Structure 1
């Protein structure tokens, strides 16, 4: 665990006996979106961000923007292209444990630290300019993908 991730999860409540590869609960994922409303409010309807466990990629936890805001649910994961997601975050078990503990607080710090360390892989399944047009620019910045310049 990186020092940033350790600090971010140190004050978080312990997970309820979660096994390696377990995804966060949809309610916790929904609360995380509500806690970071400034990142989710600009999303276009239909934007999907998925989280999968690299050790057990049969299910994915999805944030999906809709008319009434963001929803969170677990769905089958049949592969990146079939997921319908704009972004898929694939986490190893150690980082997934960190994500579960940080979901109610400093989630984006933990995700960003996991991406930087290689424990979380961020797959952008659409071109960067399309993601930005769909309202994902602030969220991508929160994940550590700052971008300036023309989209080609």
Structure 2
């Protein structure tokens, strides 16, 4: 059972540096545990993604948080998992290796955003954005 102190640690991570990891069967965000420098909080948008990575571990459901599921692991445990997954790569096209259609679509959208970022030299592309910022609208006086 996840203790109260661990629940608090998993829900309030301040000043954390995140790592997003896209795997063929899961998408997770990883941050350092705010109470223990040797632990990581692995967060998933779907509980099933954490179950795929850590089938024997208890998962804390956080439906009102930015990520719906979380798990605590040691740095070594997480590093071992990532290392193992790297050595198991056999595909030559990542998106083509993703079986879950919804996860594939997430990655395809992510790929498109990154491609646009690459093509515009890292400049913000606000076309299609729902809000306007300074300099987004220019008025031309009538002549």
TM-score range with shorter-chain normalisation? under 0.3
TM-score (normalised: structure 2): 0.26
Larger of the two Rg values belongs to structure: 2
TM-score (normalised: structure 1): 0.26
Higher RCO (CA-CA < 8 Å; seq separation 6+):
1
